[in-house]
Structure 1
Amino acid sequence: MSPYAYARTGRVPAGQELLLRVLDALLREDVAGLRSRSVPVEREDGRWLRLPTSADGDALLLPVREDGFQCAYAARAPFLVARQGAEELRLTSYGVVLAALRALADPADRPGFDAFAEECREDLAARRLHARTRNEVAARLRERYGADPARWTGPAGGLALDTLAARHDHPVYPTGRGRAGLGEAELRAYAPEFHPRFALRWLAVPREALTVAGGTEALPEFWPAPGVLGLPELAASHLALPVHPLTVGAPLREALRATGLQDRAVLAGRPYLEVVPTLSMRTVAVADAPGLHLKLPLATATLGLRNRRTIKPGTLADGAVCQRLLEAVTAREPRFRNTVLHADETVYAHAGHELLAVLCRRLPPGLDGAVVTPLAALLSEAPDGGPVIGHLADRFHGGEPVALLDAFLTPLLDWQTTLLGHGIALESHQQNVSLVLDREGASRGTRLRLLFKDDDGPRLNAARVRASLGDAAPDPAAFADARILAEDDGPVLDLFTTITLHLCAVAPAFALARHGRAPLPELLGLIRARLGEAADRLGTGPGEPGALLRSRVLDAPELPVKAMVTAGTLLTKERSGAADVNKHYTTGPNYLRWSRRCP
């Protein structure tokens, strides 16, 4: 029997769905020794993991199934069993499960369990809200865009696909639907899963206090002067900075106090510019020009308490440096000029604070007739049912989702492994990579391109980048975040594996297998074949990138796995040792090695 047999089918109650995901994450990240200290035991209904909790034989028991995607096992039922003496008690809610594990944790770590319980509460509320509003939102999307997401074209259609993606779970993080501190009213008004429209607020900031990359002439032409905002007396002395409505109030006041601008900056009373939230929520698209996005800081957190949605000014400059680096690679690798597209993220402004900033993102031209869908939307549910990837396959790939999977895996892995050869890995997860699908030529055959955005968190092997690109390599001093630069290939390969491989390539493959579209060994074999081709192309001599790709990824006994709950919420940075909460790892099985043994 395949170790990837999957027992979950159909809809389950939101609380059980959440608890299954939470148990999977806690097991994968070995919270309280749930993975490393447990012993497998066989019962009548299958395999369990037994975690001793006392010398007297007390234990916690978790029913599991064989899995393979980042962990050997996954929870097969939404409960944990607490055994005390001869008695066994089922723990069937996230609260009691976390309380039981909290009791086993170091006292210094117990506040993190309380924080994660609050995350679970917010996620469960959002999950139930999504269920209640499914038909309402589906009707709204059908009315505006039509029933078939494979015909939602252009940047505007991409926003509708973002809405579907926002209603789908993160491939790994268990409470990805929750947003810290936001209730139903805020979610309905501003979250992408409701596809709302709203007007931005604007702050008039003294010109000398505002840094504008490229100068004010680089700002979009619609940028309002203070007079347009009802502040004509500030026209000569101030510039406008957009502020998300959720940041107005206490967060904005504190930011102004921290920068000494509380008596000099003026919040306009008049909202201006209607926008639509993208999948990231803090990034909004201009309603009348959806190819222009404004990334605005929010005083909330997602995917972990410490994963705040603010914008550190240094990351804006880092994104621009990385964009120029990618342009230098493309100049050396011309086959990607027409297949890999990049948003322009070189224009930004900030007032020296993580809540006083904006990135002006411009999508490339030529998208109006194409379907632009984030990878995160592929397995989302379409308004009239079925996963989005099925609708796209019907229109563009003869009804074969596996053909579509291969069609985007081939350029994705080609591009990302080419970057590896230059010493570069991008944090281009399933939210930051979009498929661009359209018809071209006399035959009207399918054309597939990839669109990348948000390039501010890469990892670079500085020595390899310099050796590969010479004078086109960026000055290491140009990066505000020193964590970007690595002394060897290890951090680069870790980022490639945990983002491009796990999230962008393999998570869709596992999902397609769960939907019965193809046997998992076939899909994993396809990914292995594409990576093997890349390794051969990069060179397999000692120290060459292809050899490292084989030894550290294709043939490695284990692969790095992001420990997102541990670093993001359960443990402080001092306790976890995480320099970056998004790049803190444990290990899991190498599903690519298993696929090699399959016929």
Structure 2
Amino acid sequence: MSAPTSPTLLSEADPAASCFFNALLRESQGWHLDTTMHGDLAILPVDDGELHLRLHHRSASGECRFQWPVLWLKDGTPRAVDFATALERILATPALVGELAAEARSIFRERVLESRTNTQASLDARDDLGHLQQGPLNFAEAEQGLLAGHAFHPAPKSRSPFSEAEAQAFCPEHRARFGLAWWALAPELRAGDTSRDARATELALGLLPEVLAEHLPDGFSVLPMHPWQAQRLHQLPWVQEQQRNGRLHWLGHSEPDWLPTSSHRSLYAPGVPWMVKGSLSARLTNSLRLLSVKEVQRGLHLDHWMRELNVAQRFPGFAVMQEPAWLGWRDANGAVDPASLVVLRENLLADAADSEAVVLATLTQQPLVAGGQSLLSARLRAKAHSLGMPLAQVARGWFTAFCERVLTPLFGLAVEDGIVLLAHQQNIVLRLDDGWPVGMFYRDCQGSGVGDRFLERHPQLEQPPENHWPPATLRRYFLYYLLINSTFAVTSALAADGLVDEATLLVDLRAHLEGLQERLDGDLDCLNHALNAHHLEAKGNFFCYLSGVNEATLAEPARLYLPLANPLATVRAASANTTHLQGVPA
């Protein structure tokens, strides 16, 4: 076998292909790694030869930077092939993806290629790629600057059934901006609840523009909604019937001040006290994005439970974007209609729209242009240059601050209070001061649960909350999202861009977690597992998406997870000195 000469830099950027192959290599057993004189090579045997992926970098958690194009080796001769051709060969190889029915193969292939087309279309349409790679970014820019999507997903920008015109009008990667849709509901249709003194309908009414309020019938309440969802519901016979009989009124759209954040269905307007997160009858990545009453009630519970915890003093800079109210309408049977549900989320940036509050996924996403780097690495290179300090020292100092501002509060709540926040990259909004972590906002209260420690602290509860997780479940979800999905994305980005060796960061990470063992008082099971388990569990997005299941309604989501060698089990925190930046907030 002859290995082709490989360039030292990426020959081009292909974020969509990177996401696809990262997911495949993490989950498939039908390939092997070869180390050549030109670097590491992932070799995928296919029916008519081999596909070769040249690796610019491979992180401890498996995230790779690739050198394109993919090479097809047959009869000893390597030839470049495009992504669609490589995909065909992979889907025709059971050793890589299992036995596939023709229809399943066709649907998966179509969705993967559509996602790649969507990614490229958004890249081609942007005139700010340099800014997205260099920063600084405010909240809105960062939310609409996540162009690559989930780093371990075969089709992170799939968005069925959005048309191209709808994508342009409603998707964050196209910098969409639009008005909220508004309904008026008769009392018999009204549904909602709140954990605050004011009713949910009163809180929502505060968002209604005066020009629309003039048309609100007496005794009716208001329901804000994503305009695409409102379009879909307008077409339903039941909705049309309610409008004809006067129980449901269409009020119209507000001014186009609202923009979709990276999740698509969460909407933000600068200077407004609430964000609006609603159901979206669309399949984004693995799930149909419909809220449920069970999920929206979690926000009310979390808002109530956290009032007594004195979080601001215990964990300076940390806060939860609480979701203390939800609204919707009742269907013909009197049940809450999931398609109508919305939650109101605290906008903790209402008075600081231009501050640097950046979703972690945008900070760490792979390069969007040839020879580029992550936004995080670009910021730290600039910081090191301005301070005249070594890159590795700056990177380690930044990572130490990240651990303190992110891992300490999230592990602290889990260990001491039994409150578990599933902090994946899109749920962590880092608060930065001149690029330096000074705090974080956690969002998405639907992704919250409680452990046994919570039950110990609340013996008055007659029965456990519905989102009480036993230890094994807590270990699986919490450590996947916070460590594998989020923290290892940071170590991978810094190492792949050449700022610091990843092994050094893993030693620093282990030292921080061992320090938390001493600092925190409570249920240390999850923290001990993170440090000592030979394997953690990672969500298998590739085969979940290939199977076509709806992750949100899966009865046993644990079956989506697979073992991943724990990078922390192979390092030991030395008394090694972790150098902090001087003269910069840490």
- Pair in the same fold by TM > 0.5: yes
Once the 2 structures are TM-superposed, how far is the Cα of residue 534 of structure 1 from its aligned partner? 1.5
> Counterparts of 2:280 and 2:202 in 1: how far apart (Å)?
24
Once the 2 structures are TM-superposed, how far is the Cα of residue 159 of structure 1 from its aligned partner? 0.9
Structure 1 residues 478-500: Cα deviation after superposition (integer angstroms, max 9, x where no partner): x4xxxx222x3111111121111
Structure 1 residues 407-457: Cα deviation after superposition (integer angstroms, max 9, x where no partner): 121131111222331434322211111122349xxxxx9781211111212
Instruction: Using structure 2 for the length normalisation, give the TM-score.
Output: 0.78
Once the 2 structures are TM-superposed, how far is the Cα of residue 522 of structure 1 from its aligned partner? 1.2
Partner of 2:285: 303
> Is there any run of 5+ residues in structure 1 with no aligned partner, and where?
1-5, 440-444
Equivalences for residues 106-505 of structure 1 within 5 A: 111-135=103-127, 137=128, 149-150=135-136, 157-164=138-145, 166-214=146-194, 215-216=199-200, 218-224=202-208, 228-229=211-212, 232=215, 235-254=217-236, 256=238, 264-266=246-248, 268=250, 270-273=252-255, 274-287=257-270, 289-304=271-286, 307-328=287-308, 330-331=309-310, 335-336=313-314, 338-351=316-329, 352-364=336-348, 368=352, 370-379=355-364, 387-389=374-376, 393=380, 398=387, 400-421=394-415, 422-438=417-433, 448-461=438-451, 463-471=452-460, 475-477=463-465, 479=466, 484-486=467-469, 488-505=470-487
Are the counterparts in 2 of residues 52 and 60 from structure 1 also a CA contact under 8 Å? Answer: yes
Q: Are residue 512 (structure 1) and residue 512 (structure 2) matched?
A: no
* SS of equivalent to 2:283: coil
Once the 2 structures are TM-superposed, how far is the Cα of residue 98 of structure 1 from its aligned partner? 4.7
Are the counterparts in 1 of residues 402 and 437 from structure 2 also a CA contact under 8 Å? Answer: no
Structure 1 residues 493-548: Cα deviation after superposition (integer angstroms, max 9, x where no partner): 11121111112211011101111111111111111111111223347xxxx74355
> Counterparts of 2:104 and 2:288 in 1: how far apart (Å)?
16
> Counterparts of 1:564 and 1:177 in 2: how far apart (Å)?
13
Are the counterparts in 2 of residues 537 and 546 from structure 1 also a CA contact under 8 Å? Answer: no
> Counterparts of 1:270 and 1:420 in 2: how far apart (Å)?
43
Structure 1 residues 262-309: Cα deviation after superposition (integer angstroms, max 9, x where no partner): 85554526322431222222111135x2452111222222222xx122
Once the 2 structures are TM-superposed, how far is the Cα of residue 182 of structure 1 from its aligned partner? 2.3
Amino acid at match of 2:442: F
**In structure 2, do the counterparts of structure 1 residues 320 and 8 end up closer, same or farther at CA, with 3 Å as the change threshold?**
farther
* SS of equivalent to 2:563: strand
Are the counterparts in 1 of residues 43 and 53 from structure 2 also a CA contact under 8 Å? Answer: yes
Are the counterparts in 1 of residues 360 and 486 from structure 2 also a CA contact under 8 Å? Answer: yes
> Counterparts of 1:281 and 1:457 in 2: how far apart (Å)?
17
**In structure 2, do the counterparts of structure 1 residues 212 and 373 end up closer, same or farther at CA, with 3 Å as the change threshold?**
same
**In structure 2, do the counterparts of structure 1 residues 255 and 553 end up closer, same or farther at CA, with 3 Å as the change threshold?**
farther
> Counterparts of 1:260 and 1:569 in 2: how far apart (Å)?
39
Partner of 1:18: 16
Aligned residues: 543
Partner of 1:442: none
> Counterparts of 1:96 and 1:436 in 2: how far apart (Å)?
41
* SS of equivalent to 2:150: coil
Structure 1 residues 382-422: Cα deviation after superposition (integer angstroms, max 9, x where no partner): 99x86433565557995734322221211311112223314
**In structure 2, do the counterparts of structure 1 residues 312 and 301 end up closer, same or farther at CA, with 3 Å as the change threshold?**
same
Partner of 2:3: none
**In structure 2, do the counterparts of structure 1 residues 263 and 581 end up closer, same or farther at CA, with 3 Å as the change threshold?**
farther
Amino acid at match of 1:116: F
Partner of 2:87: 97
**In structure 2, do the counterparts of structure 1 residues 509 and 236 end up closer, same or farther at CA, with 3 Å as the change threshold?**
same
Are the counterparts in 1 of residues 87 and 109 from structure 2 also a CA contact under 8 Å? Answer: no
2:61 maps to which of 55, 60, 70: 70
* SS of equivalent to 1:268: strand
**In structure 2, do the counterparts of structure 1 residues 80 and 264 end up closer, same or farther at CA, with 3 Å as the change threshold?**
farther
* SS of equivalent to 1:561: strand
> Counterparts of 1:27 and 1:578 in 2: how far apart (Å)?
24
> Counterparts of 2:565 and 2:31 in 1: how far apart (Å)?
17
Are the counterparts in 1 of residues 51 and 70 from structure 2 also a CA contact under 8 Å? Answer: no
Amino acid at match of 2:409: W
**In structure 2, do the counterparts of structure 1 residues 229 and 72 end up closer, same or farther at CA, with 3 Å as the change threshold?**
closer
Amino acid at match of 2:538: V
> Counterparts of 1:183 and 1:68 in 2: how far apart (Å)?
36
- The CA RMSD over aligned residues, in Å, is 4.2
Amino acid at match of 2:23: A
Once the 2 structures are TM-superposed, how far is the Cα of residue 64 of structure 1 from its aligned partner? 6.6
> Counterparts of 1:508 and 1:349 in 2: how far apart (Å)?
37
Identity of aligned residues (%): 18
Q: Are residue 567 (structure 1) and residue 544 (structure 2) matched?
A: yes
> Counterparts of 2:298 and 2:58 in 1: how far apart (Å)?
38
> Counterparts of 1:460 and 1:27 in 2: how far apart (Å)?
33
Amino acid at match of 2:360: L
Once the 2 structures are TM-superposed, how far is the Cα of residue 579 of structure 1 from its aligned partner? 3.1
Are the counterparts in 2 of residues 204 and 239 from structure 1 also a CA contact under 8 Å? Answer: yes
Are the counterparts in 1 of residues 260 and 267 from structure 2 also a CA contact under 8 Å? Answer: yes
> Counterparts of 2:277 and 2:248 in 1: how far apart (Å)?
21
Instruction: Using structure 1 for the length normalisation, give the TM-score.
Output: 0.77
> Counterparts of 1:74 and 1:382 in 2: how far apart (Å)?
12
**In structure 2, do the counterparts of structure 1 residues 88 and 406 end up closer, same or farther at CA, with 3 Å as the change threshold?**
closer
Greater alpha carbon shift after TM alignment, 107-116 vs 38-47: 38-47
**In structure 2, do the counterparts of structure 1 residues 81 and 580 end up closer, same or farther at CA, with 3 Å as the change threshold?**
farther
Partner of 1:525: 507
Once the 2 structures are TM-superposed, how far is the Cα of residue 317 of structure 1 from its aligned partner? 0.8
* SS of equivalent to 1:189: helix
